[in-house]
């Protein structure tokens, strides 16, 4: 035990002393004869050979030189534990041990990547395979054997664990996964995610993430240009909800900068405004930031789910009359359910008149800016103060990829969130410390989210991404027109985006719209069909009630690999699953 520990300690000391680690092929320096005898004696005190071990001055000098690079008087120094225990602990090997075994590490990862390619990519994106393998929670717990034990498992068992995790997970890259606002699998983005995870760095300083600090700024610059800004700021956030919360915090700080130090006691009652179709993160953000959900004034929407600017004006006047101070309006470009785009030009006029911060939650609809054909849906977005945009949704960049974009050029992000931690953001570094962007955010450790989008953009080009957006619109239109040709499909409204909301009316309810219990019975159809499709693994579509409307399906056309055949399959499968209802 002791010999290998000594070699490791000597190698580590050389690394510290010289600043250079031995190469993978090189063995650590040899242990001196005196140190070898000492460690043998410690490891095997009953061994007669230990009698030759050094004692007294030789023992202490050799050991202290070994450990610390200088002699230590062991008559005056008492280590916290037995040296034997320390040496044994340093040499203890995990089971199975891969640490330091480059060949074994590579072999394991090749096996794992092979499983990923076979199970998650090849099968996970194949239309003839299941979207999911449904199991009830207790059965799934048993199948996965989730308990963590004191002893490790063999590599064969670990590989089976990997295979099981993929097998029982939902395949969000599958062409029949329509359940969320994200789907599909872009190979270049996945390559970027693999590299990101492997490098395992944190994006707070240039010294440890030089490539990604520069890359993030270039990607954010491109996104800002698509919004219509020639300058500004921004940051990648852990999800669109956090981007929205950042916008609220920044708007509050700009209006009341004392709140950073003095907190809520520096604030009057505040009011922010969002439509009833806004994302729930607006109310969550208000609660999280101490404003309270009552500070969110809900603005009316029209029949298509768009904010009504005239009601926004009235809500602002009412809030002021009640003694509140309006400070932010959050508009939405691509609402979660109906896919509505708020009229940004008219909303911007109201904000300009009242001196309010305009935030646009374009987490879902922001990628439409890439399309010359459809970007008119976001006309006026260039007048916003901040924009949330999630390329992991419609662009299929992979979770997570969420940008907060700012028109501000005064370093507002850093002034609002900065804490000047001296152990990270030293001002006397040997490079331009403006490249240390970590003080712009409330996080310390921050994962790299720009590489997957950058690599995908490099591969596809702006034209390729534009075609991807236009294709989703075309498929959504095809689906709508096919629904109109079939009995049993009723649109909630004519879509302007790629959210296709509809009811499936089973045979037993067709022609009975005037029945008093029609709506109640129709509302029960979607949950039944959802259960059937999930348990068969044939596809996944989300459903929800909405206002006075009963449950209806929300079909999301986002996967870049979708075809007309997938749209036809969806209609055929709903008819098959619901023919007996």
Which pLDDT does position 97 carry in this prediction? 61
Top pLDDT among 119 and 25 is at 119
Output the DSSP codes for 290-331: TS-GGGEEEEPB-TTS-B-HHHHHHHHHHHHHTT-EEEEEEE
CATH 3.40.640.10 residue window(s) in the chain: 202-420+431-447
Tell me the average pLDDT across 163-175: 98
Nearest partner of 559 among 223, 256, 184, 275, judged by Cα: 184
Which pLDDT does position 100 carry in this prediction? 82
Q: Range with the lowest mean pLDDT among 29-33, 379-383, 399-403, 446-450?
A: 29-33
Which pLDDT does position 74 carry in this prediction? 42
- How many angstroms separate the CA atoms of 269 and 290, rounded? 11
Q: What is the CATH topology of the domain spanning 202-420+431-447?
A: 3.40.640
Which pLDDT does position 278 carry in this prediction? 98
Per DSSP, the chain holds a count of helices (H) and strands (E) of: 19, 12
Which pLDDT does position 98 carry in this prediction? 78
User: What are the pLDDT digits (tens) for 468-478?
Assistant: 999 999 999 99
What mean pLDDT value characterizes the chain?
A: 89
Which pLDDT does position 99 carry in this prediction? 80
User: What are the pLDDT digits (tens) for 503-553?
Assistant: 999 999 999 999 999 999 999 999 999 999 999 999 999 999 999 999 999
Which pLDDT does position 44 carry in this prediction? 52
Top pLDDT among 397 and 49 is at 397
In the predicted structure, residue 327 carries a pLDDT above the cut 50? yes
Top pLDDT among 423 and 15 is at 423
Which pLDDT does position 96 carry in this prediction? 57
Q: How many angstroms separate the Cα of 256 from the Cα of each of 114, 262, 267, 356, 482?
A: 55, 10, 7, 13, 54
Tell me the average pLDDT across 234-252: 98
Tell me the average pLDDT across 130-146: 97
**Which CATH number applies to 462-577: 3.30.70.2190, 3.90.1300.10, 3.30.300.160, 3.90.1150.170?**
3.90.1150.170
For residue 18, report the phi and psi dihedrals to the nearest 5 degrees.
-100, -15
Which pLDDT does position 50 carry in this prediction? 44
User: What are the pLDDT digits (tens) for 360-412?
Assistant: 999 999 999 999 999 999 999 999 999 999 999 999 999 999 999 999 999 99
In the predicted structure, residue 51 carries a pLDDT above the cut 70? no
In the predicted structure, residue 21 carries a pLDDT above the cut 60? no
In the predicted structure, residue 340 carries a pLDDT above the cut 80? yes
CATH 3.90.1150.170 residue window(s) in the chain: 462-577
> Please, what is the Cα angle at 416 between 415 and 422, to 5 degrees?
60
- How many angstroms separate the CA atoms of 556 and 476, rounded? 8
In the predicted structure, residue 224 carries a pLDDT above the cut 50? yes
Give the largest CA-CA distance in the chain: 102
In the predicted structure, residue 273 carries a pLDDT above the cut 70? yes
Split at pLDDT 50, 70, 90, the class of 494 is: very high
- How many angstroms separate the CA atoms of 421 and 345, rounded? 41
In the predicted structure, residue 12 carries a pLDDT above the cut 50? no
User: What are the pLDDT digits (tens) for 561-577?
Assistant: 999 999 999 999 999 99
């Amino acid at each position: 035990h002791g010999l290998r520990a000594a070699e490791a300690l000597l190698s580590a000391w050389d690394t510290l002393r010289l600043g250079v680690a031995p190469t993978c092929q090189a063995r650590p320096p040899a242990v001196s004869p005196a140190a070898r005898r000492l460690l043998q004696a410690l490891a095997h005190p009953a061994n007669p050979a230990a009698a030759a071990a050094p004692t007294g001055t030789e023992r202490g000098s050799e050991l202290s030189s070994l450990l610390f690079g200088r002699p230590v008087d062991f008559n005056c120094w008492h280590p916290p534990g037995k040296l034997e225990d320390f040496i044994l602990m340093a040499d203890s090997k995990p089971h199975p041990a891969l640490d330091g075994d480059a060949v074994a590490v590579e072999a394991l990862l090749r096996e794992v990547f092979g499983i990923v390619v076979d199970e998650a990519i090849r099968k996970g994106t194949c239309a003839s395979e299941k979207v999911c393998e449904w199991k009830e929670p207790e059965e799934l717990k048993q199948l996965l054997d989730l308990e963590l034990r004191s002893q490790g498992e063999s590599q064969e068992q670990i590989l089976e664990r990997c295979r099981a995790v993929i097998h029982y997970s939902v395949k969000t890259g599958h062409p029949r996964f329509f359940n969320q606002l994200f789907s599909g699998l872009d190979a270049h983005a996945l390559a970027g995610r693999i590299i990101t995870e492997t490098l395992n760095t944190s994006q707070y300083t240039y010294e440890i993430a030089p490539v990604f600090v520069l890359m993030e700024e270039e990607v954010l610059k491109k996104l800002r240009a698509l919004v219509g800004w020639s300058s500004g700021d921004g940051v990648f956030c852990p999800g669109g909800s956090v981007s929205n919360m950042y916008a609220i915090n920044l708007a509050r700080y700009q209006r009341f900068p004392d709140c950073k130090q003095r907190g809520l006691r520096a604030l009057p009652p505040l009011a922010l405004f969002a439509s009833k179709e806004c994302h729930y993160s607006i109310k969550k953000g208000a609660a999280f930031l101490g404003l309270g959900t009552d500070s969110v004034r809900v603005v009316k929407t029209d029949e298509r789910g768009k904010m009504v600017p005239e009601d926004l004006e009235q809500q602002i006047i009412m809030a002021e009359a009640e003694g509140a101070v309006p400070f932010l309006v959050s508009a939405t470009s691509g609402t979660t359910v109906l896919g509505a785009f708020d009229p940004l030009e008219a909303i911007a006029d109201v904000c300009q008149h009242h001196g309010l911060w305009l935030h646009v939650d374009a987490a879902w609809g922001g990628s439409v800016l890439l399309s010359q054909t459809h970007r008119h849906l976001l006309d006026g977005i260039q007048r916003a103060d901040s924009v949330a945009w999630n390329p992991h949704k419609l662009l299929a960049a992979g979770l997570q990829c969420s940008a907060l974009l700012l028109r501000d050029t005064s370093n507002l992000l850093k002034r609002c969130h900065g804490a000047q931690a001296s152990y990270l953001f030293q001002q006397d570094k040997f490079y331009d410390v403006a490249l240390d962007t970590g003080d712009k955010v409330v996080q310390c450790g921050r994962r790299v989210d720009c590489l997957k989008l950058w690599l995908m953009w490099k591969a596809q080009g702006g034209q390729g991404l534009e075609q991807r957006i236009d294709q989703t619109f075309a498929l959504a239109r095809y689906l709508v027109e096919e629904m109109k040709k079939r009995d049993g499909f009723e649109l909630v409204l004519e879509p302007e985006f790629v959210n296709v909301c509809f009811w499936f009316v089973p045979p037993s309810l067709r022609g009975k719209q005037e029945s008093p219990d029609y709506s109640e019975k129709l509302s029960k159809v979607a949950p039944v069909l959802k259960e059937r499709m999930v348990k068969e693994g044939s596809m996944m579509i989300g459903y929800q009630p909405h206002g006075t409307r009963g449950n209806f399906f929300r079909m999301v056309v986002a996967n870049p690999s979708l075809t007309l055949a997938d749209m036809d399959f969806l209609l055929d499968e709903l008819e098959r699953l619901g023919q007996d209802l």
